[in-house]
Amino acid sequence: MALIGGLSGGMVNANNPNSVAVRQPDAQVSNQQGAPQKQGPPISDGSVVDGLVTGKSGEGYMVRIGSQTIYASSTVPLFVGQRFRAVWDASTAPPTLRLRQADMAVLAKFTGRDQQIAFALLSRGLPVNHEVIWGLRQQWMQNGADPLKLGAMIELWARGAAMSESNVELLSWYMGLLPEQVSVIWRKIRDRMHGRKFSSPRELLDAIRGDDDEVDKFLSAHALAGKPARGGIDPAALLAQAWWPAGGDETGDAMMASVSLSSEELDGRRVWWLSFDMEGDSLGRVFGDVMTNGRALSVNLRLKNASRLDLVRNKLPELREELSEVPLVLQYLGVGVSKEGGFDAAMRQSLDLEA
């Protein structure tokens, strides 16, 4: 079975909770081996850093910390597209990402399989308590307690999705795809969407499903990766990300983004929401909210880096032209600077539900 993101949920030595052994992947999960490093001021030894995994190379990772892209090893199993918080150990070559002391203290409270589950949760920034551990252990045991399935199970649990064997296999396959494979699938999906008229996202989804098993499989897995976090889980937690198209058909690029899909009834009408969060090379972190009632469309973008705001504003006419190919009336398209705590509620006011 393919590992989620090429990595297992992590293995912990039950006799020594401070020893974390990472199961190395059988194959690379990214084509970014040998990616150039972007150097900046040295990161202080022992400092806590937030970063993004941009590639897998050899036994280590390409990670973006601030404006720098650096090669590092890790005592925590990571996957491409994952955000992380870890201690930066500059005493090794290459530098090593380690669990924080507080996380190690939590890990020491558990033994055996419970410790493996606790580690898989901690490595994704998810809450660890005895109730959560107990519930996950029951599910894991029912699935044969296979360590290679634990990572996918945790990701499904964080979304409140069924931790069935088929879902575990599906999400594992999805997270193990290479960017070039995803680009081919997205091009097929775009071709099927082009020029189609539909009255709801469900109708469109049914239309683009069909005679291509790979596309159908991808869309099913994509839906799992796009499920919002379950109640009590911070949506910004380190969840497996969704594959998302970037660039046009000429470049065929694909990248990973945190994507959340949901729907609700507003004034007697069904409304669909899509929120995303991705890290760009030139723009930095970009947030977006898309809202539709199946007829009209509203798009709201937010940048973490305010200095790039004018650049995006100048590109809005180009984006508006591209969105004109979508069989929905574009009612709103805007960009601003992100606020602490995410998006404000003004997004709902930008869509006329009677359209």
Cβ(59)–Cβ(286) below 8 Å: no
pLDDT digits (tens, 9 = 90+) for 266-304: 777 788 888 888 877 778 888 888 988 888 889 999 998
pLDDT for 272 equals 85
254's CB contacts (< 8 A; 6+ apart) are: 179, 180, 182, 183, 186, 243, 244, 245, 246
Q: What angle do CA 81, 82, 84 make, to 5 degrees?
A: 145
Between residues 314 and 49, the one the model is more confident about: 314
pTM, 2 dp: 0.67
pLDDT digits (tens, 9 = 90+) for 196-232: 666 666 777 777 776 678 888 998 998 888 888 888 8
Q: Which of 154-168, 194-208, 242-256 has the highest mean pLDDT?
A: 154-168
Pairing of strands 329-337, 296-303: parallel
8's CB contacts (< 8 A; 6+ apart) are: 23, 77, 147, 148, 150, 151
pLDDT digits (tens, 9 = 90+) for 302-342: 998 889 999 999 999 999 998 887 778 899 999 999 875 44
